[in-house]
């Protein structure tokens, strides 16, 4: 069984979870990889810091509607997933502006960047 609550992944790992699936992995996979690797390496304080970064950006995402905000973020990152389906509505331009400003405020773009993650192509990635 896969674990699916991005905001509390670290707790699941501590209880023995060996796999996870989450919608925010689409745009924050490097952050989750750092969290997982820190946990597996025994660097609990670092893992907890990454988990807090996740909670911070997920809180912003939810304040802006969850799925509509996620689609806006994917589009900004270069993958246009199209509009949300009814009864949801896409974010208006002014909402997107506030959403991205909030993500910047909580450090999302830096935390989710690829630069600190080095992946060995032959390694097993959790």
Under a CB-based contact definition with an 8 Å cutoff, are residues 98 and 121 in contact?
no
Please report, for residues 16, 40, 48, 54, the alpha-carbon distance to residue 1 in angstroms, rounded to integers and kept in the order given: 11, 19, 23, 22
**Domains, the chain, with CATH or none:** 6-111 (3.20.20.70)
3 three-class SS: strand
Q: Is the pLDDT of residue 78 over 70?
A: yes
- 36-40, 41-45, 111-115: lowest mean pLDDT where? 111-115
Mean pLDDT score, 47-57 = 97
User: What pLDDT shows up at residue 119?
Assistant: 46
Mean pLDDT score, 33-44 = 96
């Amino acid at each position: 069984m896969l674990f699916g609550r991005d905001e509390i992944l670290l707790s699941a790992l501590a209880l023995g979870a060996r796999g996870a699936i989450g919608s925010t992995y689409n745009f924050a996979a490097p952050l989750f990889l750092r969290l997982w690797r820190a946990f597996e390496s025994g660097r609990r304080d670092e893992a907890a810091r990454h988990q807090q970064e996740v909670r911070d950006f997920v809180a912003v995402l939810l304040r802006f509607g969850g799925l509509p905000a996620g689609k806006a973020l994917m589009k900004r990152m270069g993958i246009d997933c199209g509009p949300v389906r009814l009864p949801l509505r896409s974010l208006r331009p002014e909402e997107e502006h506030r959403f991205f400003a909030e993500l910047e405020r909580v450090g999302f773009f830096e935390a989710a960047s690829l630069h600190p993650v080095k992946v060995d192509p032959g390694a097993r990635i959790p």
